[in-house]
Amino acid sequence: MDRLHADPSGDESSPERVADVGACLRGFLAEHHTLVLATVVDGQPWCTRVFFAEVLGGEPCFAEELGGEPCLTLYLLAKTPSRKLTNLEANDRVGVFVGTEQPTAWLEARGRATVLRDPTDDAAARARVLAKSPEAGPFLARVTAEAVRVRIEWLRLTDVRVTPRRVIEIEADAAEA
């Protein structure tokens, strides 16, 4: 799938291409401190907002024809007990939405979540989230939380603040997903 065009028509022949997907994703995600996490169990959906931190790096996992972009991994902190954690234990598939209330730029994604039970992994994820979002500190001081890692398998970033509108859509290689 080659869907990195800045052309709103998505025309494959468009000469305008996003030069650096990683930079676009990093810049967009740096603007946001919370995301909406969607889970589903037994046909019942559940959405909630959580603090997060992102890591865009490591081994390339997106299709080679898309430049072999490195993997996007999200770390978040989930209050315990919570429906989201209960749902993740039963079904690790999640949906993610990052954006503002006004539809000017947003990221939609699908991935697989893992609750980080190892104390070292939990501490590292917690440190990432608090470094990105210091405002999470007072909230986390009042609740218990577990760290969760979400490995993104598909994403679409839409930005209508630029002309022409930018749409970046990438999917993890099947071998890596």
**Domains: count for the chain:** 1
The pLDDT value given to residue 101: 87
Distance CA 156, CA 119 (A): 32
CATH code for the domain in which residue 50 is found: 2.30.110.10
Percentage above 70 pLDDT, the chain: 79
Q: Which residues pair with 115 in a beta bridge?
A: 148
Banded model confidence at residue 60, pLDDT cuts 50, 70, 90:
very low
> Whole-structure pTM over 0.85, yes or no?
no
Report d(CA 97, CA 106) in Å as an integer: 7
Instruction: Give a yes or no: residue 121 inside a domain.
Output: yes
Q: State the pLDDT confidence band at 64, using cuts at 50, 70 and 90.
A: very low
Residue 53: which H helix or E strand, with range? Answer: strand 44-60
